[in-house]
Structure 1
Amino acid sequence: MKKTNLVAIAVFAACSAGSALAVDFNGYARAGTGISGNGDGDVSFMKQGVGRLGNENDNYYEFGFAEQLQTGAQAWDLEAMLAKGDEGQVGWESDNAINVAQFYVKAKGLFASDPDAVLWAGKRYYQRKDVHITDFYFLNNSGTGGGIENVSIGEQKLSLALVQDGENDNASGYIFDARLANIGLWEDANLELVAAYNFSTEKDEKDEVADDGVFLTAIVHQNLDIGFNQTVLQYGTGGYGDQLAGFGSGAWYPRGLDANNDASGYRIINWGVISLGDAWEVGHQLSYHHGSDLNNGMSDSNMYTVVVRPMYKWNDSMRTIMEAGYFSREQDGVDDQGGHKFTLAQGWAMGNSFWARPEIRVYGSYITDEEGTTFGAKGDSDFVAGIQLEVWF
């Protein structure tokens, strides 16, 4: 049986069972095509640094299913998700594997002293944090494991989890993740603190050369009458230091390598979405990233990004979207990186919110790689025009 058929079968089975089991079907997808000046079709260049609008060259799909197994004093829920990506170049693409991205059970109401606490185990997207307009997951300790979350400590909520994080010939890696959320600050503002410790267990008569790493995050979330704003402060050591110098999410710790055992890094991110009157909404990302003693202590790194996405709403379904982005990175002993992008898109969405989806957009993007040869012999810049769908439900 072809792998692609598995998705269709799963969707059919879930929908067929819906009337009897009340299965909730949810998901996300993006798909589109483009024509670029260098003949490569769609173009994607450093979207975490310059923005993702009109700057994606793949299709991606998630099909999620949720079933409430029991309600009452105890609530047991099963959640599952299949995910797949492809290049979108032909109508039938069956070579890429389908991933079981999530399959876990969570239970609420098990503890009389704290009925809101949730126990969970399985494979899960674990409380991920991202900036949507750049597809930048700045915290993503997802994987297979288990834990307890939403434990009440006064007005705050504590979550603890253990997640497996890779394996090589010498060791198995794990992440211990601790979070304290809902820490009140000033009016309409709260703080969340996250500490992740990445460690390994060595196999018999084997040595793991990569040191353990610590990843600390503080997120200040400010609700506004016209939207919201988040400021994120992050610090990491070892392999996490190297990740924070770039766009690392905290996943895929570099085991088997000792090049960054002495490294450290930090980054500051500010992002949000606000309304400017009835017709305008604006999303933005500002970030600064610094790494020290990277690559066996041979180099330091500095990078910053600026991305702005204003949107003008003509009516409840039609909008014009612009996005401008710029990033620059300098690292000792490594060629400088830099680039910018400008995109103009006409979109139609099911609603007039910045977040309204499905959205069909027709776009044109001018993208420049200031330091490299991303666009081949044609030069350092390229123009791409295309059409794309994005939907979540």
Structure 2
Amino acid sequence: MKLFKLLPLSLAVAGTLASAGALADNHDIDAMEARLAELEARVGGQFNDTQQPAVLNAQSEVPLGIVFSGYARYGAGYQGGDSLYVGTAGGIGGGNKTGRLGNEQNGGEIQFAKAFESDAGAIWDIVFMVDHWEDASWGNTGGTQVKKLYAGASNVFESQPDLYIWAGRDFHQRPQTDIDDYFWMMHDGQGAGFYNLNLGGVKFDFSVVGQVEGEFVGDNGKYAATSKLHGMNLGGVDLALYANYGFKSDKLENDNDVADSAYQLAAEANFSGQKFLVRYSDSAVDSVFDLKEDQTALLFSFSGGVGLTDNAGIQYLTSYQMNEGDAVEDRAQYNVIVRPTYQWNDVHSTWLEGGYNVVDFDDIDATNSSWKVTLSQNIAIGGETWSRPMLRFYATVGEADNEYTGQNPDGSYTTSNPDTLTVGAMFEAWW
């Protein structure tokens, strides 16, 4: 790939940022480590992500009444250019590879849950969620849909008090990188399984789910067996391993466009506010529900945050993903996103995000790219980067240069070159 040489450079820049703490004097190492931990917490994106399953354990408190939680972002953007948002044609997988700040669509997820405790000490919950997103990039058909309706229980086996067993419809296996808003695995569906089976100090999750389409209740014939091994701490590195297998039922027996099986293998390492992950998919990209023949995908991603001073920090992400096979146009995608932040006080902050994203085709003499810069002035409920609710007032400029969006009958390529100038305001909250 003619632009592959940019990837090591971006990784080197990110690695240099991550190692900033190494410049401290040895005699003050304890104080330096404590200060780094505090600063990393300011920019590391620690928050209660309600998109992940709320897994109960034997120590969970049972709140009274109904628990109301969710995630939402809504606002308006004035379009002063060709496009309201910035993106690159031909991208691999989901997410917003040019950066999400000032480049996000509207929507939200509203959740209600009720917990119970039996006389024997088992803790149960029933969870219901609806979501509402701007278009089919998040909601299969747009509009409001039931995304969760499940029940689960923990402390039902004396030897495994933290084992949580569930059945129903749920957001399922949604590991995410933040500033590109990328769920690099996603297996929402209806099924059953368990979390936190204790295997000698290491935890194991396993579930089998069927994919559902939008507002429908039954599955569409595509299934996923998902697993995760986690709770492994190796010298300050929190390691998790994933293995997923996709397959189809007899409902799709005569559909030749659906592969018989697919699989994914992945590893995720978190350390000192940074995250490194690698994922390999066969007959799939982000989900083994894809069941797409004759293609593979390989992803590397490094992201995190570093505190520079009491008030200034920087978040960043760089990734490389390749998609190739007989059924696809072989291509690689790589991106760099950098977001410096400055916290004026416990209410006001300023963020500046720059992103660059490239899709480099292998068998086609074409490269697509996009860039954007967003300046955002924020008002939040607290003085941390992840404090929400937050009001944002922002301006985004950017451009996409797509040398290939399709092929004309005469063999020439269709192209596009939209620019973006957007001024907007929005709120974002998780609770």
TM-score in terms of structure 2 length: 0.74
Q: Aligned pair 1:349/2:396, yes or no?
A: no
**Distance apart, 1:360 and its partner CA:** 0.6
1:232 counterpart letter in structure 2:
L
2:279 counterpart of 1:234: yes
**Stretches of structure 1 lacking an aligned partner (at least 5 in a row):** 1-19, 88-94, 244-248, 255-259
How much does 1:126 deviate?
A: 1.8
CA contact (8 A) 2:222 2:289 kept: no
Map 1:252-331; keep pairs closer than 5 Å. 252-254=289-291, 260-295=292-327, 299-331=329-361
How far, CA to CA, are the matches of 2:349 and 2:403 in structure 1?
Answer: 34
What is the rounded CA distance, in whole Å, between the counterparts of 2:212 and 2:145 in structure 1? 16
Within 5 Å, give how 1:374-385 maps onto structure 2: 380-385=418-423
What SS does structure 1 have at the residue aligned with 2:101?
coil
2:188 match: 142
1:60 to 100, 107, 127: 107
Deviates more, 1:201-210 or 1:133-142: 201-210
Contact 2:82 2:418 in 1 (8 A): no
Distance 2:312 2:302 in 1: 20
1 CA distance for matches of 2:74 and 2:313?
24
Give me the TM-score of the superposition, normalised by structure 1: 0.80
- C-alpha change, 1:205 and 1:373, in structure 2 (3 Å) is closer
1:1-393 → structure 2 map (5 Å cutoff) = 22-38=65-81, 42-45=84-87, 48-56=96-104, 58-71=105-118, 73-86=121-134, 97-165=143-211, 172-186=221-235, 188-203=236-251, 206=254, 208-209=256-257, 210-222=259-271, 224=272, 228-238=273-283, 240=284, 243=285, 249-250=286-287, 252-254=289-291, 260-295=292-327, 299-333=329-363, 335-371=366-402, 380-393=418-431
Larger proportion of strand: 1
Which protein, 1 or 2, shows the higher relative CO under an 8 Å CA cutoff with sep ≥ 6?
2
User: CA separation in 1, counterparts of 2:312 and 2:297?
Assistant: 36
Deviation at 1:194, TM superposition (A): 0.6
The runs of 5 or more residues in structure 2 that have no matched partner are: 1-62, 89-94, 136-140, 214-219, 406-414
Change in Cα spacing, 1:212 to 1:96, as seen in structure 2 (3 Å) is closer
What is the total number of aligned residue pairs between the two structures? 340
Q: CA RMSD in A?
A: 2.5
Report the secondary structure of 1:175's partner residue: strand
C-alpha change, 1:385 and 1:205, in structure 2 (3 Å) is closer
Q: By how many angstroms is 1:332 displaced?
A: 3.4
2-structure distance, mates of 1:282, 1:204: 48
C-alpha separation between the residues in 2 aligned to 1:252 and 1:44?
Answer: 28
Q: How far has the Cα of 1:363 moved from its partner?
A: 0.7
- The answer to whether the 8 Å contact 1:372/1:380 transfers is no
Alpha-carbon distance in 2 for matches of 1:31, 1:316: 23
Map Cα deviations across residues 138-166 of structure 1 (whole Å, 9 max, x no partner).
Answer: 11112111101100001100011001025
Counterpart Cα distance in 1 of 2:229 and 2:416: 51
Residue 26 of structure 2 corresponds to none
Q: Which amino acid aligns with 2:274?
A: N
